[in-house]
Structure 1
Amino acid sequence: MVCALGAAVCFGTATVLQAMAARAASAQGGRGGEAGVLLRAVRQWRYVAGLALDGLGFVLQVVALRALPIYAVAAALASSLAVTAVVAARLLRVRLRRGEWGAVGVVCAGLAMLGFASGTEGDLGGSDALKFSMLAVAVGVLGVGLAGGLLPERGRGLVLGLAAGFGFGVVEVSVRLIDSVGVSDLVGNPATYALLVGGGAAFLALTSALQRGSVTVATAAMVIGETVGPAVVGVVWLGDRTREGLGWLAVLGFVVAVVGALALARFGEAPVVSDGGAGGGAGVAVR
């Protein structure tokens, strides 16, 4: 659980650091539009530090998934929105409403319940059918991401956000389906390709969602997609369980944590508030 929460802290903090770099790059002016802003941002230490935190967060996520039920890790990762909100309030001077501070507390309460009720990871091995299913879902997410610009404007953010959530969920499940890191075993395991395709497709879908739709809708859909689906797979097919007699507390904690994260969905792009208090546009997608 420490690793899962550490991953959430890394992802949430990285989002704010990258948003700060994007804000500074935008203020510098210059040509190239959004691509130019990105090129100027990647030259700044904050953006590089954010990428390093993303990498560290992924490593911690893998460690957590090898020791905890998927439902616990998924809820903890969703709490990165709470981290982004708190760090953004401090560094970006984003004004959190009273209800949003309450949502941060709700997320913490849900994670505390989950931490107390969670058992160890399931001991059931994933079948070949499940591995190929994850690969199929990953390819489907990639297709949705590539077709993002062709989707109807109404509902586009919802569809792309859900697709991104499913992609990140594929990564979570695939980590559990990889039993050996030997080169030959990795090459012959469909879960390896599901992890790679799912992660890349999720980033593509989320980026398209944030550029072409509502940040709040896309992020909320992503949170649902990356928590509920993987949690069901972990319980039904991989044998994830709770401590004896505490199943109800785990379900309650999961629901509370996810609902709290949904209340903070607007921080999926770490919105920047200008010195005058008006909402700015610079931001970087969470994860």
Structure 2
Amino acid sequence: MRKGWIAIAALLCPFVAAACNSTDRHRCKELVGQLIAYRSEAIEYAFGAVFGSLPSRVEVKFVSSRDPQYAKYSGRVAYDQAERMLIVPRRYIDAEMPMPLRWAASYWPYYRNPQYRETFPLIAAIDSALWGAVLQETAHARGLSWPHAECGSIDVHKRLPCEMLIAGVGAMLTEAQTSIFNANRVDRLWPENFNVFEQRSWRSDREYVEVQRYGGILLLKPLFSEFGVPSALAYVAQTPFLVEQGNMRVSALRYQERAREVLQSRPVIMTTGEPRNDNDPILLPGSRDRRFIAFGSRDGA
């Protein structure tokens, strides 16, 4: 009977949450490195070959709060494009991780379950940094930055469209089921008279946030659905969205039309096919991506 309960428990929870309890801190860093490798594997299994823009070898550097790179990225896990490094604050060495780590080799189960996201914030931090690396390197290949420079503008005409791309990309990559909203209210999500919209809304206002988030999803969802994540993501990284002639609706439709013209001429990048909405995690037989491997010699002080 006891064995039966153990078997049922294993099915319901295929892992346990545990922090590294080793006195060997190098071993703890290796576990974080393995988790990074498993998440990179999960991303490519779910979405296809997205890491082609990255160097063949990306160093993982653990930094203390005294390290300049810690302050540069506000204590986040982040990709430093100039140094070609993944920066990991040392405090994450003690973060809880799923054991066995191989559970993390499937992408969508983590995002489908709020409890997983609450228990393992390190996974979301790693994923964000990995996607950031892809976007930064892809944008850099065209002489751009990611986020695009317009995101830092004080001009709402430039800043908000840029923020819409960030919000739309985030939703496409982390929401197993895209947020429900009334897509028929295009007049609210893509205001045709942007000057009037700017005058009546402020950055913290609900109307601004709705355009930022849901307008971004409405802009990018068709492209990601039609062309897949690798192709659509590359186009977005290399193509800023701008409001033309004060009409966001017309500008959004033009952005989609131009994207289709470009992407239809490119070969489709196929995914290996992890179901986005399947309730059962798929564990992979393949080996981990060894792209993110270097420790020790470049460890932060």
Q: When the two structures are superposed, what TM-score results if normalisation uses the length of structure 2?
A: 0.24
Rg comparison, structure with higher value: 2
Higher strand share: 2
Higher helix share: 1
